[in-house]
Structures are given as structure tokens and as C-alpha cells.
């Protein structure tokens, strides 16, 4: 008798060993899994406390899940939480709902804390509730029943091993929603081409509408090529790491060779922000209609005044570039760019044209004046304004002796520097912040863009500038450590597109706390 009881217990444990993943329907088109949410909440609450600015909704997961669960504070976050998207199956003889047929519905699987009972939020469409082996199941389907298949749903196999994992079968979802987006988006874009108060459609409006229509069409094509999206959210100590793998239908053929990018990134001197951009991305950016974008943005689009035809000519010669940006009391505002170009001599011939075309915009928006220096490809920068207070601030940002300089490096590279005339923006090879972002993915991703940014370094520099500009009246002060590093990287893989975002949440929270005290 005891042997039979042991066999029954063993069979029961095996049968429930895959909970809650065996609740995921075979036809699921979206799956979000929260693993050990209690640990995630603990980290986020520690970050909130460190910032000294406690959030009004400190429990992020409870806030998110409140759209599905009426009492999310009753969820046991030591167990997995699943949010599932699945197609809605119309019963035989039932008429399809709406113009586009039945829409997918959500399903939520989680456990309640001991002694508590969970309730579905009916407003989210979760109309059916069930309990199975201690798991609470809420779904938008008219009924729910246990799966009979021993194999897990195909979507489960795609989940990354992260604190929060996401899989979206995008092609299946897009086939359902693309007609809606096509209709509403097309109407919105058409509405841009409207006459003004005088009843006339201006050439600028026509150009902006045409640009928007083209952008919308390109976006629709890009979305139609996405097969699936896999995402992960993890923590490395208190650094949040978010990754996305976007799988394409057409497939990709990347040319993975990031050696030049790493070499150039390794030469950047220490700075608050550093970036690298591929030739491919540079070309795409230069294809944008900046004049049309300015029409949409209004006064916020004044940056377009700097993108002159001369800049486009330079971009056509650009193959790869890395750059840095910084601000400090010693050097003021500095920018450095190192690029590889298809024709080094042709690029240098275009430089004076670029400087001349930029001079008017610099003077108009920043009261900066450029004058020829004592050597080729060098221009002095000075501040010209009748506003004494503005001049004091700008002289701290752009100190006297600041120059714009261009110079050849090797046979195909050119360096541009905006900063003190004796400033060395490039050093011997070292493990720069940007190189550290690039190297882990150098063999698997054709990197289009990478950026590293230390917000603390910028904050310290701004404080130093404020002290120089305001002297004894300045009361701002921030320590130069710990760092508050953030980074982003994206590029092409064999299957599609890879994106990675990192953020030192604890470092940012510490900086926020210090800035709050400084004020």
C-alpha cells in the first residue's frame, strides 16, 4: 500500500513539475514571464530609497499587473507570473465581431499569497477565472480548460533566461492589426496635407506631408518583415540590462567586422559621452528630409539649419565614425570626431565650405563667431553678444582659445576637434568606455550604433561651469564618483536586429540624491 502511495505522489509531482509553463496555450502569440518578481521589486525599492525621491507607486510590478488583477498586492511574486496573448477562437455559428474579426485576448497566470484570493480585473477583458494546483488563471476566453499535450507550447522554447522574459510572434499579430494601422495611419498622414487659414496648402506643408507619407510607407514595410521579437530584462548588480532580438522574415546577411570601430573607439580620451556610427546608419540618416522634419517640429527643429548641403556631401564620403562629447571647467564644452572616409583629400576640400555654411547658424543661435586661425583647417571660436550675463556663461562653456580643427590621420581617417587649441582628444589605445560597450558583441553583431554616457561626469562638468560663470554665487557641487553609466548598442545579426540597453540605476539614483541636496 505504501509503495502505491509513493508511486501516486511521484506521478503527481511529475505531472505538475512544468507548472506554470504548461498552462501556456499552443497557439499563444505573446508571452511575458516575470521570474522572481520579489527580487526585482527589492532592487527597484532600494534604488528608489537611494535617490531620496520615493515613487508614489514604488511597486512597479504591482502597478503593471493592476491592469489585469484587481488586487495585485495579493500576488505571490516569489513564483512566476505569466501574461499571455492568444487568438480568440470564434465558436461554430458565431458571427465575427467587428470589421476586422475577433481580436486576440489576454490570459494571466500567477499564484496568490498564502491566505489571499486573487480577482481578475474585468475591465481588461479577463472574464473567466480558474484555479489549478494552486495557480490562478484569468482569461478573456469564454472558458478555460487544461492542456492535454505533454509538450510545452512552442513559444515557451524561445524564452531567454532572464529575470523578465518576453516573446512576441509579431508576424501573427501584425497580420491582425496591420489593416487597422494602415487605415488609421493613412488617414492621419493625409490630414497633414491641409490648407492654412488662407485656404492655401503651402509648398512646405506639401513637402512635409509627402515626407511623412514616405516614412509611414517605409515603416509599414519594416514592420511587415518582422517575424518575432524576443526580449529580456535582467540585473547585473544594480545595472539594468534590456535586450531585444528582432527576427526578420527576409533574413539578413551582415558583414561582421567591427575591428576598425573598436580601434577608433579605443583612441577616444575620457569623456562624458562617446558614440560610434556605421556607414550604413550615416547614409540612412542623411536620407531624411530635414526641412520637412523642421516643418513638423516648429522652433524645436532649428537643428535642421545646421544640416546644410555641404554636410550631406561630407556624409557621402563617410564610412565609419566615432565621437565624444564632454563638458568641464578646464576645457569647457568639447567635441571630437574621428572618421574613416572614402576620399580623404576630397573631404578636406569640403571642410571650408562646411564651416562657412555653419557660421550663420552658429552666430544666430549661439552668438558664436568663427574666424580663420593661423594655420590651415583651423578656426578660432569667440562669443559675440551685448548681453554681459550671457557672455559670462558662454565664455565658461566656450573658453577663450577654443578652436575648430581638422586634421588627417593615416591614409583614410580625419579627426575633427572643437575645444582648446592644445587639447588632445585622442590617446594611445586603451579600454575606453565606448570600446567596453562594443567588444562583447563584436563577433556576433554588425554594429550600426553604440553609445556610452556617464551622467555624473556631465553633472560635475556643469557644476564646474556654473562656478566659473557665477563665482561665489554658485552653490552647486557634486562629487566625481560613483559613476552613473548608461549605454546603448544596436546592429544587424544573422537573424535580424539586436538591441542592448544598460543603465546603472543605483549610480543614477545616487546622483539624483546629490543633485537634490545641491539645489
Q: What's the helix, strand, coil split of the chain in %, to 5? A: 40, 25, 35
129, 152, 168 - which closes a domain? 168
> Do 320 and 194 fall into the same domain?
no
Position 480 scores a pLDDT of: 81
Distance from C-alpha of 193 to C-alpha of 201, rounded to nearest angstrom: 7
> Do 244 and 195 fall into the same domain?
no
Q: Is residue 387 part of a domain?
A: no
Q: Is residue 4 part of a domain?
A: no
> Do 153 and 180 fall into the same domain?
no
Position 63 scores a pLDDT of: 93
Question: If pLDDT is split at 50, 70 and 90, which confidence band does 9 have?
Answer: very low
- For residues 393-417, give the mean pLDDT: 94
Q: CB of 202 within 8 A of CB of 196?
A: yes
Q: Is 335 exposed, middle or buried (CB count within 10 Å of its CB: 0-12, 13-18, 19+)?
A: middle
Q: Is 16 helix (H, G, I), strand (E, B) or coil?
A: coil
More confident residue, 244 or 518: 244
Question: If pLDDT is split at 50, 70 and 90, which confidence band does 192 have?
Answer: confident
Q: CB of 429 within 8 A of CB of 242?
A: no
> Do 132 and 197 fall into the same domain?
no
Residue 382 grid coordinates = 569667440
> Do 207 and 311 fall into the same domain?
no
- For residues 242-271, give the mean pLDDT: 95
> Do 209 and 317 fall into the same domain?
no
Length of the chain: 519
How many domains are contained in the chain? 3
Strand partners, 308: none
| pLDDT of residue 153 exceeding 70 | yes
Q: Could you give the residue ranges of the DSSP H alpha helices within 193-289?
A: 203-224, 259-265, 279-286
Distance from C-alpha of 378 to C-alpha of 404, rounded to nearest angstrom: 6
> Do 248 and 148 fall into the same domain?
no
Other CB atoms within 10 Å distance of the CB of residue 484: 22
| pLDDT of residue 205 exceeding 70 | yes
Distance from C-alpha of 437 to C-alpha of 291, rounded to nearest angstrom: 34
- Output the average pLDDT for the chain: 87
What is this structure's pTM?
0.88
pLDDT tens column, 99-113: 667 789 999 999 999
CA distances (Å), origin 79, targets 300, 317, 438, 512: 47, 55, 35, 33
Distance from C-alpha of 181 to C-alpha of 183, rounded to nearest angstrom: 5
Position 186 scores a pLDDT of: 76
pLDDT tens column, 112-145: 999 999 999 999 999 999 999 999 999 999 889 8
Instruction: Write the CB contacts of 379 (distance below 8 Å, at least 6 apart in sequence).
Output: 355, 370, 371, 372, 373, 403, 404, 405
Q: Is residue 97 part of a domain?
A: yes
pLDDT tens column, 21-54: 999 999 999 999 999 999 999 999 888 888 887 6
> Do 429 and 491 fall into the same domain?
yes
Instruction: Write the CB contacts of 94 (distance below 8 Å, at least 6 apart in sequence).
Output: none
The secondary structure element, H or E, covering residue 112 is none
pLDDT tens column, 322-362: 999 999 999 999 999 999 999 999 999 999 988 888 888 88
Share of the chain above pLDDT 90, in %: 60
Q: Is residue 138 part of a domain?
A: yes
Other CB atoms within 10 Å distance of the CB of residue 231: 19
Task: For cell 562629487, name the residue.
Answer: 479
What is the 8-class DSSP label of residue 142? S
Position 514 scores a pLDDT of: 86
Question: If pLDDT is split at 50, 70 and 90, which confidence band does 1 have?
Answer: very low
Q: Is residue 382 part of a domain?
A: no
Q: Could you give the residue ranges of the DSSP H alpha helices within 52-125?
A: 60-65
181, 204, 224 - which closes a domain? 224
> Do 113 and 181 fall into the same domain?
no
Question: If pLDDT is split at 50, 70 and 90, which confidence band does 473 have?
Answer: low
> Do 184 and 299 fall into the same domain?
no
Position 48 scores a pLDDT of: 87
| pLDDT of residue 300 exceeding 50 | no
Position 174 scores a pLDDT of: 92
> Do 273 and 313 fall into the same domain?
yes
pLDDT tens column, 171-185: 999 998 888 888 888
Q: What range defines the domain where residue 94 resides?
A: 18-168
Q: Is residue 398 part of a domain?
A: no
Share of the chain above pLDDT 70, in %: 88
> Do 85 and 160 fall into the same domain?
yes
More confident residue, 289 or 499: 499
Amino acid at each position: 500500500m505504501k509503495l502505491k502511495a509513493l508511486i501516486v505522489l511521484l506521478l503527481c509531482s511529475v505531472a505538475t513539475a512544468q507548472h506554470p509553463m504548461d498552462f501556456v496555450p499552443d497557439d499563444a502569440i505573446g508571452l511575458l514571464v516575470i521570474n522572481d518578481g520579489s527580487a526585482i521589486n527589492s532592487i527597484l525599492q532600494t534604488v528608489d530609497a537611494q535617490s531620496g525621491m520615493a515613487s508614489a507607486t514604488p511597486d512597479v510590478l504591482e502597478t503593471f499587473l493592476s491592469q489585469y488583477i484587481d488586487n495585485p498586492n495579493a500576488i505571490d511574486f516569489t513564483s512566476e507570473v505569466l501574461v499571455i496573448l492568444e487568438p480568440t477562437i470564434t465558436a461554430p455559428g458565431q458571427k465575427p465581431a467587428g470589421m476586422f474579426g475577433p481580436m486576440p485576448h489576454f490570459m494571466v497566470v500567477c499564484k496568490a499569497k498564502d491566505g489571499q484570493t486573487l480577482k481578475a480585473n474585468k475591465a481588461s477583458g479577463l472574464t473567466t477565472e480558474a484555479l489549478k494546483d494552486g495557480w490562478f488563471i484569468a482569461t478573456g476566453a469564454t472558458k478555460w480548460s487544461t492542456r492535454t499535450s505533454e509538450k510545452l507550447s512552442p513559444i515557451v522554447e524561445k524564452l531567454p533566461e532572464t529575470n523578465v522574459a518576453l516573446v512576441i510572434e509579431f508576424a501573427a499579430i501584425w497580420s491582425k492589426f496591420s489593416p487597422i494601422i494602415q487605415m488609421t495611419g493613412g488617414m492621419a498622414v493625409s490630414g497633414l496635407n491641409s490648407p492654412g487659414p488662407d485656404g492655401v496648402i503651402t509648398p512646405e506643408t506639401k513637402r512635409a506631408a509627402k515626407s511623412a507619407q514616405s516614412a509611414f510607407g517605409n515603416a509599414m514595410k519594416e514592420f511587415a518583415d518582422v517575424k518575432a521579437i524576443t526580449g529580456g530584462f535582467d540585473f547585473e548588480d544594480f545595472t539594468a540590462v534590456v535586450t531585444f532580438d528582432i527576427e526578420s522574415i527576409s533574413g539578413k546577411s551582415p558583414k561582421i567586422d567591427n575591428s576598425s570601430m573598436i580601434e577608433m573607439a579605443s583612441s577616444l580620451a575620457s569623456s562624458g559621452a562617446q558614440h560610434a556610427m556605421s556607414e550604413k546608419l550615416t547614409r540612412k540618416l542623411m536620407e531624411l528630409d530635414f526641412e520637412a522634419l523642421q516643418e513638423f517640429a516648429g522652433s524645436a527643429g532649428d537643428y535642421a539649419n545646421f544640416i546644410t548641403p555641404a554636410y550631406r556631401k561630407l556624409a557621402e564620403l563617410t564610412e565609419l565614425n566615432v565621437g565624444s562629447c564632454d563638458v568641464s571647467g578646464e576645457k569647457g564644452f568639447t567635441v571630437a570626431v574621428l572618421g574613416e572616409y572614402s576620399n580623404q583629400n576630397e573631404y578636406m576640400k569640403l571642410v571650408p565650405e562646411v564651416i562657412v555654411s555653419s557660421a550663420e547658424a552658429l552666430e544666430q543661435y549661439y552668438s558664436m563667431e568663427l574666424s580663420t586661425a593661423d594655420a590651415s583647417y583651423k578656426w578660432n571660436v569667440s562669443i559675440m553678444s551685448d548681453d554681459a550675463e550671457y557672455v559670462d556663461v558662454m565664455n565658461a562653456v566656450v573658453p577663450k582659445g577654443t578652436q575648430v580643427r581638422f586634421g588627417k590621420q593615416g591614409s583614410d581617417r580625419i579627426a575633427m576637434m572643437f575645444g582648446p587649441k592644445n587639447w588632445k582628444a585622442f590617446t594611445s589605445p586603451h579600454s575606453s568606455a565606448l570600446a567596453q560597450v562594443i567588444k562583447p558583441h563584436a563577433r556576433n553583431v554588425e554594429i550600426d550604433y553604440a553609445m556610452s554616457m556617464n551622467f555624473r561626469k556631465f553633472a560635475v562638468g556643469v557644476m564646474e561651469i556654473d562656478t566659473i560663470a557665477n563665482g561665489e554665487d554658485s552653490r552647486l557641487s557634486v562629487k566625481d564618483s560613483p559613476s552613473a553609466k548608461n549605454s546603448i548598442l544596436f546592429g544587424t545579426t544573422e537573424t535580424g536586429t539586436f538591441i542592448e540597453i544598460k543603465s546603472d540605476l543605483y549610480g543614477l539614483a545616487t546622483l539624483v540624491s546629490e543633485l537634490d541636496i545641491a539645489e
